[in-house]
Structure 1
Amino acid sequence: MGDNHNLLAEQRRALILDEVRRRGGVRVNELTRKLNVSDMTVRRDLDALAHQGVVEKVHGGAVPVAEASTHEPGFEAKSGMEQGAKEAIARAAAGLVTAGSAIALTGGTTTYAVAHQLLDVPDLTVVTNSVRVADVFHSGQRRAGGRGPRPGAATVVLTGGVRTPSDSLVGPVADQAIRSLHFDLLFLGVHGLSVEAGLTTPNLAEAETNRQFVRSARRVVVVADHTKWGTVGLSSFASLEEVATLVTDAGIPQVLRAEISEHVAEVVVAGEPESGADG
């Protein structure tokens, strides 16, 4: 009995750690619902994980331990999650971009995948608060062996701001820069989304910066794989009604697609023919 209890605790803690790394933070009340265990059990699990040095406890929940190095393991860990889905979503999202347009990309591993797919679209102006996304364009533009940017290379505007664990720049400096700009298309990564809470993130400063991005965009495109559905971060920054297009993957159940379609104008299911997208 004792062994079984320990096994369950280990499994639970592995699941909690996975959630923390994937989403950049979790709340105790969320975990009690998700895992169907008591508040005290979750707190004990978080204590154990904090003792192992893999999470840091914060008021009401936990966040990943920030490494001293500039390479944040959370990003690499998240890059491996749902990789096939992210690639499919990125290809479908890139198809929405026309040459010569002004676009914006927020931070996150899915928008990072989108950036790779946009390297061949000529004459883009790209606004981003993601150090990683800016690096993709910087490296991609010089790939042809020349010393300067290749013809048609994107003009990249990287906002200032304070760096988060997921390598996004947030805070008043980022908000001020974004507020003064206008773009045709915004590709928005999210920690979670639901019909009730809309688009959410556990990071309050990031929520405010994302809010500014949404205000400055003519058209908002959310890129999110099916695992993000039903996940609710600490802070909401937009409702589903503010989203023009959702690009997701085939892992999303038909019944959920119908529900989402009531709130979002266009739902693109990557990896499926257009006719199958609305079930």
Structure 2
Amino acid sequence: MKFDELDERMRVFETAHDLCVLPGVFMVARIDGRGFTRLTKEVHAFESPFDVRVRDMMVATTEHLMSCGFRILYGYTQSDEISLLFHPDEDTFGRKTRKLNSILAGEASAKFSLLLGGLAAFDCRICELPNAELVRDYFRWRNEDAHRNALNGHCYWSLRREGKGVDEATNTLVGLSVAQKNELLFQRGIQFNDLPNWQKRGTGLYREAYEKEARNPRTGAAVRVERRRLKVDFELPMKDAYGAFILSLLEGQDR
């Protein structure tokens, strides 16, 4: 059998279940660290519940993903996860989810491993969102999840530092309201509202316009030109203001 015939015969088994995101549907990639609790608490002794070194590696990984060949409007990272909002017209690889998932997971794993100096792995899934309002709600969801995880994490590790075991610290928090968790921290000298916003709300990355000085190549005259750069925002707005911010990114993009 000639190679071309064999190739055509076998290729169908590789692509038979390829799924593609339909045109007009918004795409958000969710990239999650695999086994990061063990990685950051046992394999590498990072500070709990948050370590600025891990934050900076996650931000750098997000920057890499936003610059590796896809049109990404917004990147968001909290804890060990990254969410990427694609430009509505992004059609790389025909919007095949198999390709998007494997490439983004591979790129994230490679970049973070290099930064860490050890092995780290991520998985990826593509969320298909039919309208801008659901895109807004997706990022509101992850933003609120960051807030909940930060509160729980600070409570849990405060108890662990007092000598409580895993089960005892976990069980102490079961059934406590948000107000009660805030009070638990307050009694231990921690004012949750005063903690860094990146811990409570995550970090956003998006491109912003700025002006810089340049020279007219024909006249040599000094001119001001507009350029775009990637901004890392550690002070994201909250709740409805954050939702409005997400919608503004969609409304302001060039199709």
TM-score bin, normalised by smaller chain: under 0.3
Name which structure has the greater RCO, CA cutoff 8 Å, separation 6+.
2
Structure number with larger C-alpha Rg: 2
TM-score normalised to the size of structure 1?
Answer: 0.23
Pick the structure with more helix per residue: 2
